[in-house]
């Protein structure tokens, strides 16, 4: 028995053989929930699945048919490790909407932005290196950091996003403890799970702090084009080319099933990312990339995004109204100006994780706040998503949740 087996039950007879890094790989709280939450009688405010019901499937189907007929031998073949050149060119047009001027040579296509988080961590992080993350942070990124045995240090957010002073303190304290910080992982727009957006003045401040301390920024921006009230915010990468690696995705603006995302990186980093991509997958799927590329040329994708925004805005409004109407007065929440999520603070003494089975019995599901912290914090909060259910179901889900909370407060 090696030290790995110490914390495990012996149900897995391979336990002595796994690499030490697998210790950090645990099923996310969200995954365990999916089975229950997908039962039709449960209103799931848990998962963050994009709502693709508005996609014109006939248009997509026709474009994909044309793609196979006209370019099948390329689309069904291996491609380049860096990704399809035409798509990389189109990606630079997408990023221009957020003020980014980039060369297609500096774009690496990935299997969703999830793989981009993995590749960036793979090329930068040794075990014990520190990644600074917002508190709370995206569960899928925390999973990657754990799987590479990184230490996550959280820095506080408020209604305007990451608090610059909290970032500065986290950097100073981590350095004083003799640890190496590899990068700041941040989701500036319509944060998953917190729902907040980094204000414009803070964007400059965060960049200045990172430059002053020589810390790379990993800017993860899958929701940036899904703002409800205004034009897209200026990306961090728009004002800082050398110190920022920017991640984008077509999962929320087109289709998560395509699994196409990207990283825009400084030149040298881009070369390392391509090597890492080649060893991970040889190349991202040519078919998916060409399907996305064809969709972008054959369809009014910006018009489509406008429709998505309207749908998500209606759902956000339904969520806000229901929270106001039903939740106990001692709960707190923010009003997201885009994206999929709202973060709810619970009355003192209530543990969202402990309450979850009772919520599921009452046919409503959410994700407990602890899923979004590397250090066990977050028990007094939960993430609610408004992207998938209809406005009526959202209202019903929040009504059920309020009933569960009230019963909990009487316990
Ligand atoms: N980053 C964030 C913040 C996300 O919310 C998600 C998806 N939930 C991802 C990255 C990964 O998305 P994808 O791999 O589909 O691009």
Nearest-angstrom CA–CA distance, 121 and 155 = 19
- Among residues 316, 341, 342, which one has the least CA distance to residue 333? 342
Say what the ipTM of the complex is.
0.99
Residue 215 has pLDDT above 50, yes or no: yes
Produce one character per residue of 61-99: b if its CB has 16 or more CB atoms within 10 Å, e if not: eebbeebeeebeeebeeebbbbbbbebbebbbebbeebe
Q: What is the pLDDT of residue 32?
A: 67
Average pLDDT, the chain: 94
Residue 3 has pLDDT above 50, yes or no: no
Q: Torsions phi, psi of 188, nearest 5?
A: -70, -30
**Among protein residues, the one whose CA lies closest to atom 5 of ligand 1:** 192
**Three-state secondary-structure class, residue 110:** strand
Does 243 contact ligand 1 (Cβ within 6 A)? no
Answer for the pair 128, 136: CB distance below 8 angstroms, yes or no: no
Residue 31 has pLDDT above 80, yes or no: no
Residue 7 has pLDDT above 60, yes or no: no
Average pLDDT for residues 198-221, to the nearest whole number? Answer: 98
Does 288 contact ligand 1 (Cβ within 6 A)? no
Q: Please state the atom number of ligand 1 nearest to the C-alpha of residue 115.
A: 14
Does 370 contact ligand 1 (Cβ within 6 A)? no
Does 251 contact ligand 1 (Cβ within 6 A)? yes
Does 138 contact ligand 1 (Cβ within 6 A)? yes
Average pLDDT for residues 388-409, to the nearest whole number? Answer: 96
Beta bridge partners of 353: none
Q: What is the pLDDT of residue 35?
A: 77
Query: What percentage of the chain reaches a pLDDT higher than 90?
Result: 89
Does 114 contact ligand 1 (Cβ within 6 A)? yes
Q: What is the pLDDT of residue 28?
A: 65
Assigned token pair, 227: 């703002």
| pLDDT tens for each residue of 43-101 | 999 989 999 999 999 999 999 999 999 999 999 999 999 999 999 999 999 999 999 99
Residue 182 has pLDDT above 80, yes or no: yes
Assigned token pair, 302: 């910006």
Burial of 6 (0-12, 13-18, 19+ CB in 10 A): exposed
Q: Which residue reads 């996609």 in tokens?
A: 55
Residue 6 has pLDDT above 80, yes or no: no
Q: 48 alpha carbon to ligand 1 midpoint, in Å? A: 9
Average pLDDT for residues 237-265, to the nearest whole number? Answer: 97
Q: What is the pLDDT of residue 30?
A: 61
Nearest-angstrom CA–CA distance, 262 and 120 = 11
Q: What is the pLDDT of residue 25?
A: 83
The distance in angstroms from the start CA to the end CA of the chain is 44
Strands 107-111 and 260-264, bridge-based pairing: antiparallel
What Å distances lie between residue 4 and 127, 336, 366, 388, CA to CA? 16, 42, 32, 40
| pLDDT tens for each residue of 265-310 | 999 999 999 999 999 999 999 999 999 999 999 999 999 999 999 9
DSSP 134-176: EES--HHHHHHHHHTTPEEEEEEEETTEE-HHHHHHHHHHHHH
| pLDDT tens for each residue of 125-157 | 999 999 999 999 999 999 999 999 999 999 999
Residue 29 has pLDDT above 70, yes or no: no
pTM: predicted TM-score of the whole model, two decimal places: 0.95
Q: 206 alpha carbon to ligand 1 midpoint, in Å? A: 22
| pLDDT tens for each residue of 314-347 | 999 999 999 999 999 999 999 999 999 999 999 9
Give the confidence band of 1 by pLDDT, cuts at 50, 70, 90: very low
């Amino acid at each position: 028995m090696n030290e790995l087996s110490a914390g495990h039950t012996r149900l897995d007879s391979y336990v002595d053989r796994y690499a030490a890094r697998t210790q950090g790989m645990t099923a996310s709280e969200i995954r365990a929930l999916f089975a229950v939450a997908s039962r039709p009688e449960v209103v799931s405010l848990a998962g963050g699945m994009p709502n693709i019901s508005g996609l014109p499937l006939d248009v997509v189907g026709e474009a994909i048919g044309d793609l196979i007929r006209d370019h099948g031998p390329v689309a069904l073949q291996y491609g380049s490790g860096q990704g399809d050149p035409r798509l990389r060119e189109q990606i630079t047009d997408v990023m221009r909407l957020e003020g980014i001027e980039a060369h297609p040579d500096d774009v690496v296509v990935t299997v969703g932005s999830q793989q981009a988080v993995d590749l960036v961590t793979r090329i930068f992080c040794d075990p014990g290196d520190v990644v600074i993350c917002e508190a709370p942070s995206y569960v899928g990124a925390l999973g990657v950091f754990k799987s590479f045995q990184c230490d996550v240090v959280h820095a506080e957010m408020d209604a305007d996003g990451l608090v610059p002073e909290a970032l500065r303190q986290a950097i100073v304290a981590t350095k004083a403890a003799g640890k190496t910080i590899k990068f700041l992982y941040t989701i500036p727009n319509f944060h998953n799970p917190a729902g907040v957006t980094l204000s414009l003045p803070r964007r400059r401040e965060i960049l200045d702090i990172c430059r002053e301390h020589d810390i790379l920024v990993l800017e993860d921006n899958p929701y940036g084009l899904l703002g409800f009230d205004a034009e897209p915010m200026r990306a961090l990468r728009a004002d800082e080319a050398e110190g920022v690696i920017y991640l984008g995705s077509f999962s929320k603006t087109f289709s998560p099933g395509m699994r196409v995302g990207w990283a825009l990186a400084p030149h040298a980093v881009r070369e390392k990312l391509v090597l890492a991509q080649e060893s991970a997958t040889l190349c991202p799927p040519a078919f998916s990339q060409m399907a996305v590329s064809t969709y972008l040329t054959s369809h009014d994708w910006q018009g489509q995004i406008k429709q998505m925004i309207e749908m998500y805005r209606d759902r956000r409004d339904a969520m806000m109204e229901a929270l106001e109407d039903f939740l106990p007065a001692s709960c707190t929440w923010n009003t997201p100006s885009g994206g999929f999520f709202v973060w709810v603070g619970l009355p003192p003494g209530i543990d969202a994780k402990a309450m979850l089975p009772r919520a599921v019995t009452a046919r409503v599901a959410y994700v407990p706040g602890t899923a979004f912290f590397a250090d066990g914090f977050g028990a007094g909060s939960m993430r609610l998503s408004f992207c998938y259910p209809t406005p009526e179901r959202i209202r019903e889900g929040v009504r059920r949740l309020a009933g569960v909370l009230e019963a909990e407060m009487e316990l």
